[in-house]
Amino acid sequence: MEALRALIDRLEQDLSLQQPERLRERIDALDRLERYLGSPANSGADSVLDARLRSRVESLCAGLEAANQRLYAAIRHEIRRDAGAAAMQAWAPAFERTPETDGDGYDYLDALLTGVLQLEEPASEPAELSADMVFYQPTPARRIFELIARAGLAEHDVLIDLGSGLGHVSLLAAICTGARCVGIELEAAYVDCAARCANALGLANASFVRQDAREADLSTGTVFYLYTPFTGAMLDEMLARLRREADTREIRIATLGPCTPMVAREPWLRSVDTPKADRLVLFRSRALA
């Protein structure tokens, strides 16, 4: 209990925690306080947390959460007036310093993206996955920032996220860059959520299509992203289609997760750095003869 008291004292005195840019520290403090509140020793009728201490924790959490909500609302406002790139890029970490491992771990940047996008819950449960398809999981926000930087996404680009889920990748890329960002996704309920979010934020350069990625129109894409939407024969089929696109122009492919080694085996692609399953890897198609 002494550790909790010391933490509360410290957080109550640190008024700088209300500053918008201290999001990381607020998320960290909220995690710690909520762990105390949620621990079995401190919940229910037998709680050892006295009422006064509990009320201090609750009011601290409310103050920190309110500061987060103000930040998210301010960024949403900037996005709607077409100034979202600067507001979001200010949070982009130097990707050279992001951890070598832990490719799927989430952090305060995911809290930021969740707060800014305010995606609705999908209206229905996803259909059962067929063989080779991978269940939905969003790309961690810091990896999306990394994709934007390493692919050098710019106005002349068309980013196609193959298996786009709720659309985090296309939405953040559309906010941060002038690129046209397209999400292709089989689950209709996910596509609806992503499209509603793009509409609410006034993102004219983000669009979502309900389709099997293997049948999508790839002809305008310059950068293709795969956060392992599928493996096995489905991935082979997708790679064969991408290869046909690379016969017509140079394309870039970014991957994250277990599909990376399979993509790395393709002789028509060269990776910009050593392919690792838990890192974002950027491939370029070999120059046309």
Ligand X SMILES: C[S@@+](CC[C@H](N)C(=O)[O-])C[C@H]1O[C@@H](n2cnc3c(N)ncnc32)[C@H](O)[C@@H]1O
**3-state SS track over 236-258:** HHHHHHHHHHHCCCCCEEEECCC
Instruction: Measure the CA dihedral 62/123/232/263, to 10°.
Output: -50
Give CA–CA dist 63/171, Å, rounded.
29
- Shortest Cβ 158–ligand X spacing (Å): 16
Closest CB to ligand X among residues 68, 164: 164
- Shortest Cβ 122–ligand X spacing (Å): 10
Residues that bind ligand X (CB under 6 A): 133-134, 136-139, 161, 163-165, 168-169, 184-187, 190, 212-214, 227-230
Closest CB to ligand X among residues 146, 187: 187
Q: Which residue in this structure is represented by tokens 């996005």?
A: 79
Tokens of residue 196, six digits: 């509603």
- Shortest Cβ 72–ligand X spacing (Å): 19
Give the residue from 84, 107, 126, 96 showing the smallest Cα distance to 210.
126
Phi-psi region of 184 (alpha: psi -120 to 50; beta: other; left: phi over 0): beta
Residue nearest ligand X, CB atom distance? 163
Closest CB to ligand X among residues 24, 214: 214
At 207, which helix (H) or strand (E)?
Answer: strand 206-210
Closest CB to ligand X among residues 185, 266: 185
- Shortest Cβ 17–ligand X spacing (Å): 30
- Shortest Cβ 216–ligand X spacing (Å): 8
Closest CB to ligand X among residues 68, 139: 139
